[in-house]
Chain A
């Protein structure tokens, strides 16, 4: 369970986070949305304890975050970063086994068995004996998710928290849904999930709450069914959408409108010039094709 109260983070003259408050209860999935640079990842770093806030408090499971040591935090919360650089040729299951680090080590055979279970959860068990460095970007991301799950599920803490930072960014559509179905299954195990999501419809389909951030400040926070609206999307991203209803479940659906984004004038004029120039040269091109 995460409770943040009046969080602010200032760096020099810049206010990266401005007076944010939020609560994610156990078993709940909060999706955080916002334009690039809105402060989503910064908020995750502050809630995860990596960066200290300038003011405000973060409580995890009812206790102030700063009261836990780094090692203690790692035993009840796991964080999936946007990308994980790893240039050394570990086997895939060995990477997953590293997720157990906060809980000490066991025999290689037992670590491998547990890693294989985690790989099965992210549908990557067939990669177990491959070198991590040989995988594609999407496969790497799913293997790293298995490592994060290994950390989270090794924990015997009654209240666990999972942070996801755009964990579906390089996955194909089926695996994007597979990951979120898995995350939903985790919430049924009483895990609290804080997920930064870029895909509006993934958030609409799976999140209990959505939070829109704009320039480090709260734009809106509330139940997905109420807050996931074309008005909020317009404010957060300057993106024009139309609201639909999901045909099967009572979940919002949003589609981009015919002209979703207003191109700025300068870009429009550059494109105009280019198409005029092409119109002037194309007759000779077609003449050459005809001649050949």
Chain B
């Protein structure tokens, strides 16, 4: 498939997903009403639409849609960049500790919010949880990077091993917190860890989107360096690119984008792994096309998944992380078996 036709396909899929997402839910809204509202209503002009429809579109579905698209795009772009950085098509943003750090901090706030961390809760109120998740994601990622730097050579293997060790350790601390938690705390953490866009508000969007948008703009700029990184650190040097600097930047961008997303929507699995993989199968591994197209595909997939999350058990909702893993897992296995030698280590 050519890059142009794939781009056209993905833009179509994303647009369809967005329209469906605005019209589907407990209150069905017709296409013409959406068009009326999109073309005039949100600018404050009178549209003659019923008040509840304006509320549903403007305060519930639109922020949710935008957040979903941004998170999907950032997870997929981060996945593509991390896979390039680690020279491994099976790498995932979680590898650098973003998710485990966010999970640990979230659990700490949920379990210790009334006791040890009550000061934090009082100071930040409704922001306490997303801020903690964001901070935890950044802190654990930074720790892994710092440890890898302290060792003899700041190479991929050291980074991965440091990541494994730190992730295991923060998993153990999370385990202790889980042990201390009561039933309702456990329940809210479980739902957070499955990911959801259900309660996204404009305020959440305001917290998370600056970081995510920044990363979405900067990730594609890393593409030429990431292409060269695939041939190893020495070739990088030969071609005049500072491998450590590239690593530092990709780490930072991933921690910012994924950390911000996780902090408002919880853990949404598989997009960072599956989407870049799929796009690479279609158009090859050149990051100059791979990163932007992964972003488009990630946005489309997450918005579609959010639509299904609302439809499957309506009027209730499934956590979106369950949908992505439910679709992503089997699909990925199918790809692995079908394309075993084309897509992985040896083509």
Q: Is A81 in contact with chain B by the CB < 8 A criterion?
A: yes
Interface residues of B in 204-251 (CB under 8 A from A): 224, 227-228, 230-232, 234-235, 237-242
**In the complex, A89 Cα to B345 Cα: how many Å?**
8
Q: In the complex, how many angstroms separate the beta carbon of A248 from the nearest chain B beta carbon?
A: 36
Question: Is A85 a contact partner of B232 (Cβ separation < 8 A)?
Answer: yes
Q: Does B201 contact A (CB under 8 A)?
A: no
Interface size on A, residues (CB 8 A): 32
* Contact A90-B240, Cβ < 8 Å, known A85-B231, A105-B224, A133-B346: no
Residues from chain A with Cβ under 8 Å of B343 in the complex: 89
User: Which B residues are in CB contact (< 8 Å) with A86?
Assistant: 230-231
A101 contacts B228, C-beta separation under 8 Å: yes
Q: In the complex where A50-B234, A81-B234, A98-B228 touch, is A132 in contact with B347 (Cβ < 8 A)?
A: yes
Q: How far is the CA of A47 from the CA of B232 in the complex (A)?
A: 19
- B: residues with CB less than 8 A from A are 87-89, 224, 227-228, 230-232, 234-235, 237-242, 280, 284-286, 288, 342-343, 345-347
Is chain B's interface secondary structure helix, strand, loop, or mixed overall?
Answer: loop
Q: Which chain A residue lies CB-closest to B343? A: A89
Which of B228, B239, B342, B345 lies at the interface centre, i.e. has the most chain A CB atoms within 10 A of its CB?
B239
Given contacts A70-B241, A71-B240, contact A81 B235 (CB under 8 A): yes
Q: For B347, what are the chain A residues with a Cβ–Cβ distance below 8 Å?
A: 89, 131-134
Q: Decide if B87 touches A74 in the complex (CB within 8 Å).
A: no
Q: What CA separation (Å) do A46 and B224 show in the bound complex? A: 26
Q: How far is the CA of A85 from the CA of B345 in the complex (A)?
A: 11
- Residues on A with beta carbons closer than 8 Å to the beta carbon of B87: 85, 87-88
Within A78-102, the residues touching B (CB, 8 Å) are 78-79, 81, 84-91, 94, 98-99, 101-102
In this complex, which of B88, B237, B241, B346 has the most chain A Cβ atoms within 10 angstroms of its Cβ?
B237
- Chain A to chain B contacts (Cβ below 8 Å), 28 pairs: A48-B237, A49-B237, A69-B240, A70-B241, A71-B240, A72-B240, A73-B240, A74-B238, A74-B239, A74-B241, A78-B238, A79-B238, A81-B235, A84-B232, A87-B88, A87-B230, A87-B345, A88-B89, A88-B280, A89-B284, A90-B286, A91-B284, A98-B228, A101-B228, A101-B240, A102-B239, A131-B347, A133-B347
On chain B, the residues within 8 Å of A101 by CB distance are 224, 227-228, 239-241
Q: Is the CB of B285 within 8 A of A75?
A: no
- B240 & A74 in contact (Cβ 8 Å cutoff): yes
Contacts A101-B227, A151-B239 known; 8 new A-B pairs at CB < 8 A? A69-B240, A72-B240, A74-B240, A86-B231, A89-B342, A94-B286, A133-B347, A134-B346
Pick the most buried of A70, A74, A84, A105: most chain B CB atoms within 10 A of its CB: A70
A105–B345 alpha-carbon span in the complex (Å)? 27
